[in-house]
Amino acid sequence: MRVLVTGGSGLVGRFIVNRLVADGHQVTLAGRTEHDPRLFSKPVDFRLFNLNPRENFAPLVDSFDALVHAAFSHVSGRYRGGEGDDVEGFRARNLDATVRLFECAADARVRRGIFLSTRAVYGKHPADMRLVETTSCNPDTEYGAVKLACEQQLANLARTSTMAVTSLRVTGVYGQAPPDRKHKWEDLFADYLAGEPVGARCGTEVHGDDVAGAVALLFGQPVEAVSGEVFNVSDILVDRRELLDMVRRHSGCSHALPERSDTLPNIMDTSKLHRLGWRPGGLPKLEKSVREMLA
């Protein structure tokens, strides 16, 4: 397929681009600036793209079979709270422009679309509740509210057009960083190795390769099985104590580990995606990634 990936040089997007290229798809990256070719295993085309709700995206999406929307405009380093002091602009760029992009794609007869959403759409729930795709969504951040509004409008587009649109609710994504950037735990690892105090925390995580695997899997499903659907994308529950114990073992560092967190996040149930054949890497992939990050 000819696939357009917005935000393809970002933390999550580059994993998706590399997977689709490896699968033999003809991939074009859309972003604000030309990408570093070292990010990808093979050359990919580039088109200029900004999340501007007044933009006519028709020329951008013309001639593609599929669209993966991984671009997101936010204050650097922040998703929750990423609106900063500009809530109105944040919503315009990430909601209005997103919906317009998919509407232009539908008008251009793009057959498939995947929207990268987030677990933040669920908001807060009782500690022992598993989050399934039908769990009520009560986002408590602007980030989650905007992503949920996108999901809802894109599901409606899937019902009223010939474009099959699917949303992926992705949790914390980890993986090796590109050459000029930090990986998500770089500061945490540095603090631990330097003997600095590290607070207790536990979170749900998934490797970028496994997010890309979910995208590739959905592209292989019948349209009627995925159009208008939402899928959770999460793999393992990671406590900082366990994560830094891997760092300790692979680095030889003898600093004390933080206490185990007594506050656990809600587990995202991924049975729906597993039934399609998705198999994430689990703890072995995390262990391998930690070794690579330390190297």
Cβ atoms of 174 and 184 closer than 8 Å: yes
Rg, Å, the chain Cα set: 19
**Cα angle for residues 226, 176, 23 (degrees, 5° grid):** 40
Task: Give residue 82's pLDDT.
Answer: 53
Q: For residues 158 and 98, give the distance between their C-alpha atoms in angstroms, rounded to a whole number.
A: 14
d(CA 232, CA 135) in angstroms, rounded, equals 11
d(CA 47, CA 29): 6
CA dihedral of residues 169, 76, 292, 197 (deg, nearest 10): -100
Question: What integer pLDDT is reported at residue 86 of this predicted model?
Answer: 78
State the pLDDT at residue 122.
98
**Which pLDDT belongs to residue 87?**
87
Closest CA to 117 of 68, 81, 78: 68
φ, ψ for residue 244, nearest 5 deg: -75, -20
Residue 74 has what pLDDT? 59
Q: Which residues have a Cβ under 8 Å from the Cβ of 190 and sit 6 or more positions away?
A: none
Residue the block writes with tokens 């540095």: 190
Query: Residue 178 carries which DSSP code?
Result: P
DSSP state of 95: I
Q: Closest by alpha carbon to 164, among 51, 37, 32, 67?
A: 67
What is the C-alpha separation between 286 and 295, in angstroms, rounded? Answer: 14
Tokens 């936010």 -> residue = 74
Beta-bridged to residue 4, according to DSSP, are 28, 67
Q: Which domains does the chain have, with CATH numbers?
A: 2-173+206-233 (3.40.50.720)
Query: Tens-digit pLDDT profile for the chain (295 aa)?
Result: 999 999 988 889 999 999 999 999 999 999 988 877 778 888 899 999 999 999 999 999 999 999 999 999 855 655 565 566 678 999 999 999 999 999 999 999 999 999 999 999 999 999 889 999 999 999 999 999 999 999 999 999 999 999 999 999 999 999 988 777 889 999 999 999 999 999 999 999 999 999 999 999 999 999 999 999 999 999 999 999 999 999 999 999 999 999 999 999 999 999 999 999 999 999 999 999 999 999 8
Distance CA 19, CA 212 (A): 6
Predicted confidence at residue 79, as pLDDT, reads: 58
Written as six digits, the tokens of 282 are 């689990």
Alpha helices in the chain (DSSP H): 13-22, 58-61, 87-91, 97-107, 142-160, 186-193, 208-219, 223-226, 240-251, 271-274, 282-294
**Cα angle: 148, vertex 150, 153; to 5 degrees:** 110
> Do 161 and 112 form a contact (C-beta atoms < 8 A)?
no
pLDDT on residue 77: 55
Q: How far is CA 72 from CA 7, 147, 167, in A?
A: 7, 10, 14
Instruction: Map tokens 């330097």 to a residue.
Output: 194
pTM of this structure: 0.95
